[in-house]
Amino acid sequence: MTKKRTIYNIAKELNLAPGTISKVINQTGNVSDLTRKRVLAYIKEVGYVPNNSARMLKSKRTYTVGIVFTEESDVGLEHSFFSSILQHFKTYVELQGYELSFIVKKLGQHELSYYEWCMNKRVDGVYIVVGNYNDKGLYELIDSSIPAVSTDMLVPGLHTVVSDNELGIKLIFDYIKEDLKLKNLAFISGPNSSKAFNERVDAYYKFIDEYELNNVAEVIYAESFGFTSGYNAVAKLLEVSKNRPELIMVASDDIALGVLKGLSDMNIKVPEDIQVVGFDDIAFAKHFTPSLTTIRQDRKLLGETAAKLLIELMNNPHETIEEIVKLPVELVIRESTQKK
């Protein structure tokens, strides 16, 4: 019978103290890089999986983080932008010793609220990846004592990490004014149930006034978050617009790629006839034809910052921590725009 591996027999096999093995596994204390690498390599070689039960009993924590994609948002794990942020969040918290548990309203025949599931699974904190403001169950969770962060919702009492949407729209307007020299603009937004989209629309109207642009079409709202909604929205835009826009700003890249396809199917050339700018810089934006000029959000920084913030909230529940963290964005110029 194979003897079960523990930090004690691993320490004996490596001629090290059990405390040294513990420090390496839990990433605590001072251990030389050489020793750390040696221990980690050996653990990997023998397939040792640390048992967290002792740590859990000692701290009365489960080292589990709940993940919520609100079911009313029509945005799932396949959404390229939010799934990428979640992956970076996951990588960071797992390195800190936390496991992820997806929180759903219904599991088999059992139906509970988000809060009830979180209590049932005894999570230490919750990451709300995407939230719908009409989902009442989220407010119960946000108002509870369970630490929570989001990279989507802006609600009093909820800690949120977001990109600076106003800065992103300003960068587009600066580019239009200084390089493109265009006057006729239009804007296609995602559903107005999203605060991020609303912030981008508000910024659009703000900078129209600041830059004294008059030949501007009304905002068209896409019916959902994806490619098909963008395809349909650009058809509607051109149908209702009195003057064909020279440039269309689109509130997300997933929608913008649908816009590009819609324009192509209407035999409208991009950027020769109409220029297009997106927002997000999803992975496929640079591979589409034409490649998409867009505002880059740092998905890695968003995910890691949300992870650090949640861990801070879990470790120091009584500290006063800033509720909203805004991260910088940058303009990425590609083939869907060109100087006149």
Residue 59 lies in a domain: no
Q: Using CA atoms, how far apart are residues 90 and 177, in angstroms rounded to an integer? A: 40
Q: 318 with 262, same domain?
A: no
What's the confidence (pLDDT) of residue 50?
Answer: 66
Query: 284: buried, middle or exposed (CB in 10 Å: 19+, 13-18, 0-12)?
Result: middle
Residue 306 lies in a domain: yes
Q: 230 with 197, same domain?
A: yes
Q: Using CA atoms, how far apart are residues 71 and 79, in angstroms rounded to an integer? A: 13
What DSSP character marks residue 226? S
Q: Are 277 and 336 in contact (CB under 8 A)?
A: yes
Q: Convert 250-290 into a string of H (helix), E (strand) and C (coil).
A: ECCHHHHHHHHHHHHHCCCCCCCCCEEEEEECCHHHHCCCC
Residue 2 lies in a domain: no
Which residue range(s) make up the domain with 32? Answer: 7-51
The alpha carbon torsion through 94, 96, 100, 103 (nearest 10 deg) reads: -150
Q: 240 with 316, same domain?
A: no
- Distance linking the first and last C-alpha atoms of the chain: 77
Q: 136 with 124, same domain?
A: yes
Residue 38 lies in a domain: yes
Phi, psi values for residue 259, rounded to 5°: -60, -45
Mean pLDDT by 10 residues, the chain (340 residues): 72 87 75 88 79 57 87 59 91 90 78 88 92 87 95 92 97 95 93 89 92 79 93 95 92 96 98 97 94 97 97 89 95 94
Q: 257 with 319, same domain?
A: no
Q: 199 with 256, same domain?
A: yes
What's the confidence (pLDDT) of residue 2?
Answer: 52
pTM: 0.77
What's the confidence (pLDDT) of residue 1?
Answer: 45
Q: 182 with 266, same domain?
A: yes
Q: Convert 97-113 into a string of H (helix), E (strand) and C (coil).
A: CCEEEECCCEECCEECC
**Bridge partners, residue 69, by sequence:** 130
- Fill in the amino acid letter for 255: I
Residue 334 lies in a domain: no
CB atoms within 10 A of CB 271: 20
